Amino acid sequence: MANKNVPLHVSIIPDGNRRWAKGRGLKPWEGHRFASSSERVLALLEEAKSLGISYITFWAFSTENWQRDKREIKELFSVLRHGLKKFKKEFIIHKARFRHIGRKDRLPKDIVRQMDELEEATRSFSDINIQICLDYGGRDELMRAVNRVLKSGKIEVSEEDLAFNLDTIGIPDPDLIIRTSGEQRLSGFMPFQSSYAEFYFTPIHFPEFGPDELREAVQEFGRRKRNFGV
């Protein structure tokens, strides 16, 4: 039975990579590179497993991020390519299932191929589930889900229809959403799925958010009482 004091699904909005880099006189993508290093990600993954978290999601690139400087986007995708290649071996070792959440039609084809291969290679694992939101926006996801329902021939969309057609089908709604770097908003992150999520905001930039900070967020979650509208 799941421990009610531990969130089943933790989602992280990893804000502050660029601010962290700027504070050190570095280019914006150096913040992305440091934040997504295998050592840092695996440390968070191992801490999540030790805490009893079953699902952990990272929002890596939003639908609005396409408006950023082209050089930064190019460098970010370069970081992603390197990370996906390196994580394949590590996720298999840790028996971590990987899934992509978001659009695939606008992403570089080689990155889509890498994600598809990683999803297939880890499909049978269940020790822990790791999701990456890439080219993801909550409104975009809802619109795509509604259109899928309508294309099926239905003229009315139920809550169940919508849930079944979201990118997160088969993944439980987040119990705890963490946003780093002091921002206190969701910015369109999982508007449908976050109805009863607990929010945890920290001023720490994501490159400095490690296992200790994750544990602190989960401990705060455990002190809260969740009524789910009852």
Q: What percent of the chain has pLDDT over 70?
A: 98
- Provide the residue type at 66 as one letter: W
List the chain domain ranges: 9-137+174-222
Q: What is the pLDDT of residue 1?
A: 42
Q: 37 falls in which pLDDT band (50, 70, 90)? A: confident
Neighbours of 89 (CB within 10 A): 11
Neighbours of 182 (CB within 10 A): 13
pLDDT tens, position by position, 103-147: 999 999 999 999 999 999 999 999 999 999 999 999 999 999 999
pTM of the model: 0.94
pLDDT tens, position by position, 193-223: 999 999 999 999 999 999 999 999 999 999 9
- Known catalytic residues are 15, 65
Pairing mode, strands 128-136 and 55-62: parallel
Q: Which CATH homologous superfamily contains domain 9-137+174-222?
A: Decaprenyl diphosphate synthase-like (3.40.1180.10)
